[in-house]
Amino acid sequence: MTNSGLWVGVLTALTALGSSYITARATSRAALAQARATTTAEALREQRDRRRSTYREMMNCVHALNEVTWQILDVDATPDRESKSRLLTQMYERSGPTIADMNKATNEVRLDGPAEVATAAEHVRQMARRLQPPLKALIDDDGPERRRDYDDAYKVFREAYVTFIGLARGALEVKD
């Protein structure tokens, strides 16, 4: 009787140790999975915040250039040729620094990605640079053909910018 009681005690103790071991392993795995999920979620949040900041800077640079280009309405409202040339020269001179800022912002977008947004940002930058020659041409000749060239270049720039915004918004969306 003592012998069987001893065996029951030993088996009970071994069962308790085994179940304790299994419970500890399961708890450890669950904690590890939770830590990984938390780390991944934090990394994704940081990436999204960094991208949002980078995209916002790019958009600010484009807006600064738009503030320059929108002065074309003032040029249109100006009656004399000399005043028009002066306004167009100011626009041209102000466009250079805004495009330089856009160059920096585009490089930041390239770093933060994703690739399709970086490509769209580069396209916006290139189209912004293509606005300068037609703008400069307007200084000397504000005829309808030159103005049409400028308007066409601005339209392509604006379309590139709208495409960038859509891609940037999509890159920032949280996917389930």
In tens, the pLDDT along 104-128 reads: 999 999 998 899 999 999 999 999 9
Q: Give the range of the structural domain holding residue 146, as residue numbers without chain letter.
A: 47-172
At 2 the pLDDT is 61
- Is residue 134 pLDDT above 80, yes or no? yes
The pLDDT value recorded for residue 94 is 95
Task: For residue 52, tell me if it sits in a domain.
Answer: yes
Percent of the residues in the chain that have a pLDDT greater than 90, as a whole number: 57
Q: What is the pLDDT of residues 64-110, one digit of tens each?
A: 999 999 999 998 898 898 999 999 999 999 999 999 999 999 999 99
Residue 6 placed within a domain: no
Checking phi first, is residue 173 left (phi over 0); if not, alpha (psi -120 to 50) or beta?
beta
pLDDT category at 31 given cuts 50, 70, 90 is confident
Amino acid at 133: P
Task: Please count the structural domains in the chain.
Answer: 1
- Name the DSSP class of 48: H
Nearest to 25 by CA among 14, 33, 15: 33
For residue 148, count CB atoms less than 10 angstroms from its CB and return exposed for 0-12, middle for 13-18, buried for 19 or more: exposed
Rg of the chain on CA atoms, in Å: 32
User: Considering the domain boundaries, does residue 152 fall inside one?
Assistant: yes
48 has a pLDDT exceeding 80:
yes
Whether a cis peptide bond, with omega within 30° of 0, leads into 134 is no
Residue 8, domain member (yes or no): no
pTM over 0.85: no
> How far is residue 126 CA from its own chain's centroid?
17
* Mean pLDDT (the chain, rounded): 89
In a domain? residue 17: no
